[in-house]
Chain A
Amino acid sequence: MGFDPHRPGADSAARFWFLSSVAWMLIGPALGLLISLQFLWPDWWASTLDPLGLTFGELRAVHTNAVIFAVFGTGAIASMFYAVPRLVDRNLYDEGFGVLLGWTWNGTLVLNAVLLTYSEDLLEPAWVAAVLGRQPFEYAEAPLLVDGLVLFVVASVLYLLLRTLADRKEPKLYASIWFMLGGLLMTTLAYTIGNFVPTYVVDGTSAIIVHGWWLHNVVGLFITPTGLGITYYVIPKASRQPLYSHRLSIIGFWALVLVYPPQGIHHYLQAPIPTWLGNVAIVTSMFLLVPVFASVINFLATPRGAWDRLASSFPLRFAIVGTVFYLLTCIQGPLQSVNTFNWYIHFTGWVPAHAHLAVLGGFVFFLTAMIYLALPRITGRQLWSRSLAQWHFWLLTFGFLVFWLFFNSSGLSMAVGTNVAGATVDQMNSAVVPLRAFRSLGGAAMVLAFFLFGYNVYKTAVRDRGEPFREGMEVVPQRGEGR
Chain B
Amino acid sequence: MTSGDPEEGRASERMGHPRSCGNGSEGEGASGGDSERMPGTRFAPLFTALAAALLVAAEPAAAASEYARHWTELSDAPASFWVAAALVTLVYLGWVYYIDTSENVKRLKKTKKRYLLLGGLMLLIVLITFAMYAYAGVGTGFGENVTARTWDWEPNQTIRDPGGSDLSGEPFKGYRIAISQGCLQGGCHTLFVRPQDTAPGHASLHYPEVSQATDFAEMPMPLWGTQRNGPDLAFAGRVKPSMQFQKDHLVDPRSTAPDSIMPSYAHLTEEQLNDLSAFIVTLGRPPAELRNATPGNATPTPTGLSPEAQRGRELASDLGCTGCHTTDGSPSTGSTWQGLYGSTVTLADGSTAEVDEEYLRTAIVDPDAQVRQGFPSGVMPRDYGDRLTDDEVDAVVEYLKALE
Contact = CB atoms under 8 A, between A and B. Distances in A.
B202 A185 contact: no
B55 to A, nearest CB: 11
A248 B5 CA distance: 29
Given A95-B35, A471-B7, A201 B60 contact: yes
B295 to A, nearest CB: 27
B220 A203 contact: yes
B132 A262 contact: yes
B259 interface: yes
A189 interface: yes
Most B-side CB within 10 Å, residue of A204, A274, A420: A204
Contacts of B46: 155-156, 159
A127 B62 CA distance: 7
Given A6-B4, A52-B267, A130-B64, A1 B29 contact: yes
B173 interface: yes
Instruction: Specify the main secondary structure of chain B where it touches its partner.
Output: loop
A156 to B, nearest CB: 7
Nearest to B95: A159
B291 interface: no
Contacts of B137: 202, 205-210
A201 B214 CA distance: 18
A324 B102 CA distance: 42
A236 B14 contact: yes
Contacts of A159: 43, 46, 95
A196 B54 CA distance: 12
A427 B64 CA distance: 41
A106 interface: no
A135 B221 contact: yes
A426 B126 contact: no
B347 interface: no
A423 B62 CA distance: 46
A120 B204 CA distance: 30
B104 A167 contact: yes
A451 interface: no
A204 B141 contact: yes
Contacts of A6: 3-4
Interface residues of B, number: 133
25 contacts: A1-B28, A2-B25, A42-B263, A46-B263, A55-B181, A94-B35, A94-B40, A123-B180, A135-B179, A136-B223, A156-B43, A167-B31, A172-B111, A197-B134, A200-B64, A203-B69, A206-B138, A208-B222, A210-B130, A242-B15, A261-B125, A271-B194, A377-B5, A418-B204, A471-B7
Interface of B: 1, 3-5, 7-8, 11-19, 24-25, 28-29, 31-33, 35, 39-40, 42-43, 46, 50, 54, 57, 60-62, 64-67, 69-72, 77, 81, 88, 95, 99, 102, 104-105, 108, 110-112, 115, 119, 122-123, 125-127, 129-130, 132-134, 136-142, 155, 173, 176-177, 179-188, 190, 192, 194-196, 201-205, 211-214, 216-224, 226-231, 252-254, 257, 259-268, 272, 382-383
Given A127-B62, A217-B126, A262-B129, 11 more contacts: A38-B263, A39-B261, A56-B188, A91-B32, A167-B105, A185-B122, A199-B64, A208-B216, A208-B224, A419-B196, A429-B229
Interface of A: 1-6, 9, 38-39, 42-43, 45-46, 50-53, 55-58, 60-61, 86-87, 89-91, 93-97, 99-100, 119-120, 122-123, 126-127, 129-131, 133-138, 141, 144, 148, 152, 155-156, 159, 162-163, 166-174, 182, 185-186, 189-190, 192-193, 196-210, 212-213, 215, 217, 221, 233, 236-237, 240-243, 246, 257-258, 261-262, 264-265, 267-268, 270-274, 276-277, 280, 343, 346-349, 351-352, 377, 417-427, 429-430, 471
